[in-house]
Structure 1
Amino acid sequence: MPAVRVKVCGLRTPAEVAVCAAAGVAYVGFNFFPRSPRYVSLDQARAAALAAPEGLCKVALTVDADDATLDAIVAAVPTDMLQLHGHESPGRVAEVRARYGLPVMKAVGVADEGDLAALLDFSLAADQILVDAKPPKGAVLPGGNGLAFDWRLVAQRRWLRPWMLAGGLTAENVAEAIRLTNARQVDVSSGVESAPGVKDPARIAAFVAAATGFRDEIPILR
């Protein structure tokens, strides 16, 4: 099987990007949702993105962003992928893909089996899907809440596009999550922080080691 690829989201500085690159991260995410403690301005994101070495995928995360907001991000920040983390419809995903000519990752919140149908719908429209824990009612943030969901809901499932597992992952549980779901990509944000919005280099390194140290000979948990 291919190696597990790691995405670290919510980066804000060139130094954090450098730490991720050194640790072997495959994707770095910049959060443009103003209410998030991980929010970055265009200037901050541009400086951080320019620090990324060739081959490190730079992802711009937005929540229900309009075209003007996306236009400004794409114009200012070297971007390899757009991540839509709001209530965007499959049609909106298709519009964004066509407008910017960039691959689009759509985040889909999962709490129970009734949420799985949306994963198929979005796999028809997006280039990748991010399978995340659905935020609790009244939550300020659509993601990055440090919450996990029942991974058995997506164990051994397949969709039409590559997918990434998110939601409450840490260095302590990511190997278990990979074994259970057979995810080949994982996303982390709060799980590698020492405080909200503050990335911890040691936790990043530990997370990547735990995720990429997964061995295929370990049996899948049922």
Structure 2
Amino acid sequence: MQTKPGEKRVSRYAKLVCLSGPRAGTEYELTKEIIAVGRSNTSDIVLEDQFASRQHAEIRRVEVTYQVHDLKSKNGVTVDGVRLAPGGTAWLQDGSEVQFASTRFRFQDPSATLTAPALIAVREPGLRVEPATRQVFVDGAVLDPPLSVKQFDLLWYLYQNRGRVVSKDEIAQAVWPEAQGDVYDANIDRMISRLRSRIEPDSDDEPRFIATIRGYGFQLLDGQ
């Protein structure tokens, strides 16, 4: 549901408030489980932005929480200053700034204080990644020494897409965008092995965080 600037109403649903562009000040109530965002006139949130894709992104409601999912848009989705990988997903928190192409929004969740325990359970499992500081927390303890640059980039990509199986090709494009040729599977496997040794050293045969999908890629698990 769209609310024009100046209108006031109370709702239990979260909303996006447009901060820039011709619709600045407009509020969009996130009542549906999947909200389409894009330049297409059929989108739930229409972006009047020449840099936006027709099907740019989705806002997904998961019980009492929300996430934004990039639909491999040309000019991307940014959450709190961090650009998502193509096809990536990020959880939204009350006050988060979300940018689709060049159009900025503020995410507001009126139930944030009431649902804090549930949010923590979903967003902060045994593994937590902070992109702003490039810190990694395992069971609440910061990983020290920190991960290497590429190890962190790999983990952050998996973390953005947690729960989804990502292919080795997707990983190669996200972690080694500078590569001129192919990134060999063996290189990815070695990096995964090193990453596992840092974040789940006691998992033995059963992976706690990173599952291998043989012949395809990897999946980041909840790891509770």
Q: TM-score range by the shorter chain?
A: under 0.3
Relative to total residues, which structure has the larger helix share, 1 or 2?
1
Q: Identify, as 1 or 2, the structure richer in strand.
A: 2
Please give the TM-score of this superposition, normalised by the length of structure 2. Answer: 0.24
Q: Does 1 or 2 have the higher relative contact order (CA < 8 Å, sep 6+)?
A: 1
